Amino acid sequence: MPMMWLFLTTTCLIHETLSVSELFDLENEVNPEVWMNTSEIIIYNGYPSEEYEVTTADGYILTLNRIPHGRAQAGLTGTRPVVYMQHALFADNAYWLENFANGSLGFLLADAGYDVWMGNSRGNTWSRRHKTLSANEEKFWAFSFDEMAKYDLPGIIDFIVNKTGQEKLYFIGHSLGTTIGFIAFSTMPELAQRIKMNFAMGPVISFKYPTSIFTSFFLLPNSIIKHIFGTKGFFLEDKKAKATYIKVCNRKILRPMCSEFMSLWAGFNKKNMNMSRLDVYMSHAPTGSSIQNILHIKQLYRSDEFRAYDWGSEAENMNHYNQSRPPIYDLTAMKVPTAIWAGGHDALITPQDVARILPQVTNLRYFKLFPDWNHFDFVWGLDAPQRLYSKIIGLMREYL
């Protein structure tokens, strides 16, 4: 974490040294998608866009985006198979659209004939509302990926099923998005029956062997983390700060510093990233989550078990789970056909961690390790369309 603050401080200092004319030039040089929301990015790339609100059973209001068909398919009739995509921590659903249209999984799926839906996790910039609670209240932020699996995913899938009339769909997740799917599909058999196939990229189940220097943050006591960051939101979007580091990272001479920062976070494979899109990547993160979600991830760190959130005392756990310790999530109970991909240079979810969970996935239909990939290559990699996305589409056509 100290390296993160060093990076942000450096960008702010550099920003202060730039002249007004230089800032104006930078404003004009950035990619247009930097300043767009998901719907605007979809339309900008020539695709039809739909946006919906989904209210969960516990009152959170989530934004859901849809690409109903590809650019050249407006007049075609017939039912298109549905795919739902769940983004990673601190991201939003523009995550799936941040490369050019011919290199972004969301657009490629739409062009391949799929009805593409993309959700936003509770607490991020686009899903920070509730029927009765304010985001200023601590109670609003009392959630982790447990609630995302228990309420968000079922609510979204129910909405999609009702809207499309299709009872089954494909699920794609990356990083913490995979965690939400694994929990939901292993604990809710009725929901699992609606999933044709589960595609998991860099799955976060075991978090015992990360090599990222930023995971040293999890060595801090909970009390220190709460004292520094509070007890509500964490890494919420700051538009002023975002504008600063976008402008800094858009300067060719400073891009190596920005890419080095990302490599320290997630692993190295810098040659596989389109550096001209770095401003787009950074403009959609971080979008925020809850401190409780971070503390739940911390509970996974170096642990041998995959458990629900520990509320900190036997009494609180009894209140939430009717047992003194949080329940263990049993992955062997998940029967959904599953495909998993891992990166050999992934500093967050290492091959060792992925290897720990593979024997627990009883319906594993496909596994692939890309030795040279890091944690971001699954969504930003220049070679992802050829090495990964084509395989996902092939498996979808196999598991109709």
Residue 346 appears among annotated catalytic residues = yes
Active-site option among 69, 87, 345, 375:
375
- Which one of 104, 121, 144, 175 is the catalytic residue? 175
Q: H/E element holding 234?
A: strand 233-234
d(CA 363, CA 360): 9
Q: Does the bond joining 286 to the residue before it have cis omega, within 30 degrees of 0?
A: yes
Torsion of CA 149, 50, 37, 381, to 10 degrees: 70
Q: Could you tell me the end-to-end alpha-carbon distance of the chain, in angstroms, rounded to an integer?
A: 44
130 belongs to the catalytic site: no
- The DSSP code for 150 is I
Out of 111, 346, 353, 377, pick the active-site residue: 346
* CA-based nearest residue to 184, from 163, 174, 198: 198
Cβ atoms of residues 98 and 87 within 8 Å:
no
CA 341 vs CA 192, 201, 222, 399: distances in Å: 20, 5, 32, 17
DSSP string, 331-396: GGG--S-EEEEEETT-SSS-HHHHHHHGGG-TTEEEEEEETT--SSHHHH-TTHIIIIIHHHHHHH
Q: Is 375 a catalytic residue?
A: yes
Which residues are tagged catalytic? 175, 346, 375
